Structure 1
Amino acid sequence: MILNTNKGFKKYLVEVICLLYILLFVYAAVSKLLDFENFQVQLGQSPLLSVFAVWVSWLVPFTELLTAVFLVLPKLRTLGLFTALSLMTMFSVYIFIILHFSDFVPCSCGGVLEKMSWNVHLAFNLIFIMLACIAVILRSHTGTISAVNLTPALTGKAMLLDVLLSTVVIIVLFLISEDSMHNKNPFIRRFPQHPVMFERSMDLKFNSYYFAGFSNNRIYLGNYTTPLKILSMDSRLQDRKIIKIVFDSKKLRFTMVKIKISAPDFYLMDGTVPAIFSGKTMDWKISKELKELPYFTLAEPIDSTTVMIRAGNGKDGSHTLGVYRANKSTATRYNSKLLQVQIDGIFDTDGMLLFSNKLKKMVYVYYYRNEFIVAGTNVALDYRGHTIDTITRAKIKVAYLKNSTIRKMSAPPLIVNAHAAISGNLLFVNSKTQGQFEDEKLWKRAFIIDVYDLNKNAYLMSFSVDKIENKKLLSLFVTDEHLYALMENELVVYKLRDIIKEK
């Protein structure tokens, strides 16, 4: 019906469509440039364009303004309409991929359109795509002199090619960005909407507690000052019980006792003795001692006879990872190649020893570099993974005292990975390094947790947990349903949302 209207009306309709596009693009571009830093941060958090945030943040408003100029000039108006069609197609494909193929859906943003949901935003874009097509068709039938002159027959093919190429561009950018973010991350974090939700907190009165384990929907906390007493409670921090371990210490000189609970067993460990005792949670009585243990600095029991350990028996006392088996003639087997020395072999290889019961893998996360190690229960290396920051070498200074018999840190070290926890195939790391496009205010008010998939050796996402009265984060513990955080004397519980649980 439109094509049968008079020539004057066609030109008038094209003018109106061009004016709408000019208003849209000028407003959108100016809004981005006036709040450019926030726009760049939003692109950095995009599930599609994170890797390209820097140049896309300049290219988009520039292209929008250039398109508006094309639409103002009569001879360039057809070119401007094709450019507008391309932009709106890209924006629409971008939203469609976010809604149907992205790991998460970010907050909707962008000036007046900020109040729109993603589905409404997509419908808005599709209307403007239709308007651009109508304007291009009308101009091809009016015979208007332009820098781009197409016959009505070629116009349809040109529009189809424009839409297809624009769609392909966004799909290619998405695939490249996804591969880079998960496997070759350029230190850009992704913060999906609320992956964890605060549930409750509890004042423990003391800051000497640590996570001892989790079983039958109950969390267990050990206490360094009262090592034979365990505080137990349910996930709602109710039904609290004090458990006393029955143990005849045989006058052993314990200095740093730690309890580990892996039902139905529990373990009492001290690497300075060295000693590991075990018992059953049904009666909390020590009933067994592991014999011929080496001295160790960290230990993670796998079962009643097998323990992953870190010992200081390498060259010049450097750290070495190994496995102790009580039923073997050679009780302890080490792999001196797992921990790689950069400076002194002790401070530079310091880190956290974890074990995944689901994967039956040991994970060692370095404190001072962007690396973690995944190995089997035979201490054979599976792979070396990397956290998303760029600090590959430990930034520490070591001083040697008393003829090199004593070594100390001579300057505060740069901590990369402060705390870590494992749940199934997911590794949770409390990072101390700020990434690209991240707000300083966020880092001042919250702790940042990065999540990695150990099966895929891939970064997944990040989230923040707000600080409580500016207290320090001491440790993390993650179950299938909850994340627990010890912030000095405060035990805080967060509910894991589906975006994490489904991973």
Structure 2
Amino acid sequence: MKLKTSFRSIVIEVISFLLVLLFVYAALSKLLDFENFQVQLGQSPLLNQFAGEISWTVPLFEIIAAILLSIPKFRNAGLLLSFTLMVLFTAYIYFILNYSPFVPCSCGGILEKMGWKEHFIFNCFFILLTVTAILLLYVKENKTRNQILFIGFALTILAFSGVGTLEFLLKISENKRFQRNNFVRMFPPVAVKKETSFDLKYNSYYLAGTDNNCVYLGNTTAPLLVLQLDSILKKSIRHNIILPNNKVNFDGMQLRISSSSFYLINGAIPFVYKGTTADWKAHSKMIKGLKFSIAEVIDSTNIVFRSLSDKKNENILGTINFSDSTTVKLKYHPELLQKQIDGVFDTDGAMHYSGKLKKFVYIYYYRNEFIVTDDNLNLDYRGNTIDTTSRAKLKVRWLKRKNEKKLAEPALTVNRTSAIYQNLLFVNSSLPGRHESLVMWKDASIIDVYDIESKLYLMSFYIYNENGRQLSTFIVEGSRLYALIGNSIVSYRLGSTIRTYMKQNSK
């Protein structure tokens, strides 16, 4: 039975009105917070090279679509433009969900509060509404069946064109990311061999440390939960940390385990909870007058931290000493981190400590440099990874409205994640060298190995993706490497070449 003309008109009017509200709201949200919108586009791995142009054209086309939809004479064109825009936005979210887990969009207001999957579903719903309005409009005008099929074909072409455009942008982005560097890696045969894996079921786990041939994992959503696995990932035990009181802010808390002791560290409060793995009972130590972003346990009485300096508001390294039960001793080492651009993003990095050598290592994310010190942060030397990026490639922008710094576009990451064991520094590099297959780079992560005693690059090896998931972080203990990949922890046996370097160079 055919719909009555009046009912069709009402449906078209309602859908058009909803689209007008959506586009006007989205456009105004972008324009009212235009500076932040540009920064967020600059951070996108798909659109950062076109952030300037897109920051103006997107709200412009949203406003044009709203105007066309508001005028009955041009509503047909408005609906077609609306369909094209919604397909582009939805395809963008699809690529973000599948290729980049970190880039937010600037839709503003309620839409900004949505998760990526919810936003994807929301957009799909509006695509269906738009298609419905287009078809009802053509039925209302008594178009023939062939003409209706033609409009369906036209919508399909528009949809594929939008997706194709974003695929093209992705290719440009990948070419930029996988730019070749003037260095050559060495890949010895059978450097590592996969042994076993353990399904964690959730991706909220992180590596907290190793001790007594066991691997320990913390959980970001359950900060007091500790998962203990044996060295071959066959047996698991769950522990619950017992705190002296329940009035604790768990935001940003990190678990570290070393030498039969555990440490719950929160640099935002700040405080350190400490206890033993024998009973998992904690006692706390407040650190007044200090906030820090990351920390690394040296021993039972010393922790290395990174915070912002009071005078320059730049990253600075320091030590916390708990040897005196009544006071906490702080010592800063401003000479260690060297500013290149802003002193915050350009000095961002990861901390590691080798108990075997009593050496502390700080490795920068965005340049080919790492720092080696003793356990009191006295500088030993500044080393370099084999990558040629000696200066961080960053664009930092100050947002006056929010009084904060932000990256204006994705930073070129040199050293993505890393680990240390005895004298060997393992670095997950983000950049390919000469003569390396880019296909392999999409299927695996590369780990470069350095000897921090001899100051030499030794070799590289691959850690292959699991179920399409890439390595996120890893740790090395004894003859094994443990990697978090997706919802699993995977163990790899280190080959004889790597183990030989450990035996020869470790004391």
CA contact (8 A) 2:198 2:234 kept: no
- Give the direction of change, closer, same or farther, for the CA distance of 1:250–1:229 in structure 2 (3 Å limit): closer
Q: Secondary structure at the match of 2:250?
A: coil
Q: Secondary structure at the match of 1:221?
A: strand
Distance between the aligned counterparts of 2:465 and 2:365, measured in 1?
Answer: 21
Higher mean C-alpha displacement, 288-297 vs 448-457: 288-297
Distance between the aligned counterparts of 1:268 and 1:341, measured in 2?
Answer: 30
Q: Secondary structure at the match of 1:190?
A: coil
> Hey, what does 2:219 align to over in structure 1?
223
Deviation at 1:215, TM superposition (A): 1.2
Counterpart residue type for residue 408 of structure 2: S
> Hey, what does 2:450 align to over in structure 1?
452
Distance between the aligned counterparts of 1:233 and 1:411, measured in 2?
Answer: 39
Distance between the aligned counterparts of 2:243 and 2:424, measured in 1?
Answer: 35
Q: 1:310 aligns with which of 280, 283, 306?
A: 306
> Hey, what does 2:247 align to over in structure 1?
251
> Hey, what does 1:271 align to over in structure 2?
267
Number of aligned residue pairs: 319
Distance between the aligned counterparts of 2:337 and 2:346, measured in 1?
Answer: 10
* Deviation string, structure 1 residues 347-389 (Cα, Å, up to 9, x no partner): 1100001111111111001000000000112211110000001
Counterpart residue type for residue 252 of structure 1: V
Distance between the aligned counterparts of 1:420 and 1:446, measured in 2?
Answer: 16
Distance between the aligned counterparts of 2:245 and 2:345, measured in 1?
Answer: 32
- Give the direction of change, closer, same or farther, for the CA distance of 1:227–1:404 in structure 2 (3 Å limit): closer
Distance between the aligned counterparts of 2:308 and 2:483, measured in 1?
Answer: 29
Counterpart residue type for residue 370 of structure 2: F
- Give the direction of change, closer, same or farther, for the CA distance of 1:410–1:186 in structure 2 (3 Å limit): closer
CA contact (8 A) 1:290 1:326 kept: no
Deviation at 1:188, TM superposition (A): 1.0
CA contact (8 A) 1:323 1:377 kept: no
- Give the direction of change, closer, same or farther, for the CA distance of 1:293–1:229 in structure 2 (3 Å limit): farther
> Hey, what does 2:464 align to over in structure 1?
466
CA contact (8 A) 1:314 1:336 kept: no
1:336 paired with 2:334, answer yes
Which structure's CA Rg is the greater one?
1
CA contact (8 A) 1:265 1:281 kept: yes
- Give the direction of change, closer, same or farther, for the CA distance of 1:330–1:283 in structure 2 (3 Å limit): closer
Deviation at 1:444, TM superposition (A): 1.6
Q: Secondary structure at the match of 2:312?
A: helix
Q: 1:435 aligns with which of 430, 433, 436?
A: 433
CA contact (8 A) 1:290 1:305 kept: no
CA contact (8 A) 1:374 1:381 kept: yes
> Hey, what does 2:35 align to over in structure 1?
none
Distance between the aligned counterparts of 1:412 and 1:303, measured in 2?
Answer: 36
> Hey, what does 1:391 align to over in structure 2?
389
CA contact (8 A) 1:293 1:324 kept: no
Distance between the aligned counterparts of 2:210 and 2:250, measured in 1?
Answer: 25
> Hey, what does 2:491 align to over in structure 1?
493
- Give the direction of change, closer, same or farther, for the CA distance of 1:277–1:434 in structure 2 (3 Å limit): same
> Hey, what does 2:258 align to over in structure 1?
262
* Deviation string, structure 1 residues 444-475 (Cα, Å, up to 9, x no partner): 21100000001011100000111112213221
Distance between the aligned counterparts of 2:368 and 2:271, measured in 1?
Answer: 32
CA contact (8 A) 2:271 2:284 kept: no
Counterpart residue type for residue 207 of structure 1: N
Distance between the aligned counterparts of 1:231 and 1:315, measured in 2?
Answer: 41
Q: 1:289 aligns with which of 285, 290, 295?
A: 285
Q: Secondary structure at the match of 1:324?
A: strand
- Give the direction of change, closer, same or farther, for the CA distance of 1:294–1:323 in structure 2 (3 Å limit): same
Counterpart residue type for residue 244 of structure 1: N
Query: 4+ runs of 1 displaced by more than 3 Å?
Result: 290-293, 327-330
Deviation at 1:289, TM superposition (A): 2.2
Distance between the aligned counterparts of 1:273 and 1:410, measured in 2?
Answer: 29
CA contact (8 A) 2:270 2:287 kept: no
Deviation at 1:316, TM superposition (A): 3.4
> Hey, what does 1:324 align to over in structure 2?
320
Deviation at 1:249, TM superposition (A): 3.9
Q: Report the identity percentage.
A: 45
CA contact (8 A) 1:452 1:460 kept: yes
Distance between the aligned counterparts of 1:480 and 1:437, measured in 2?
Answer: 32
> Hey, what does 2:474 align to over in structure 1?
476
Higher mean C-alpha displacement, 252-261 vs 413-422: 252-261
Distance between the aligned counterparts of 1:464 and 1:354, measured in 2?
Answer: 22
Deviation at 1:439, TM superposition (A): 1.4
Deviation at 1:314, TM superposition (A): 5.4
- Give the direction of change, closer, same or farther, for the CA distance of 1:330–1:279 in structure 2 (3 Å limit): closer
Provide the TM-score with structure 1 as the length reference. Answer: 0.61
> Hey, what does 2:399 align to over in structure 1?
401
- After superposition, the CA RMSD in angstroms is 1.7
CA contact (8 A) 1:447 1:464 kept: yes
Distance between the aligned counterparts of 1:291 and 1:404, measured in 2?
Answer: 28
1:210 paired with 2:206, answer yes
Q: Secondary structure at the match of 1:302?
A: strand
> Hey, what does 2:10 align to over in structure 1?
none
> Hey, what does 2:195 align to over in structure 1?
199
Counterpart residue type for residue 485 of structure 1: A
1:239 paired with 2:216, answer no
Provide the TM-score with structure 2 as the length reference. Answer: 0.61
Deviation at 1:488, TM superposition (A): 2.3
Counterpart residue type for residue 217 of structure 1: N
Distance between the aligned counterparts of 1:242 and 1:433, measured in 2?
Answer: 38
Counterpart residue type for residue 399 of structure 2: L
CA contact (8 A) 1:252 1:273 kept: no
Higher mean C-alpha displacement, 233-242 vs 314-323: 314-323
Counterpart residue type for residue 331 of structure 2: R
- Give the direction of change, closer, same or farther, for the CA distance of 1:315–1:442 in structure 2 (3 Å limit): farther
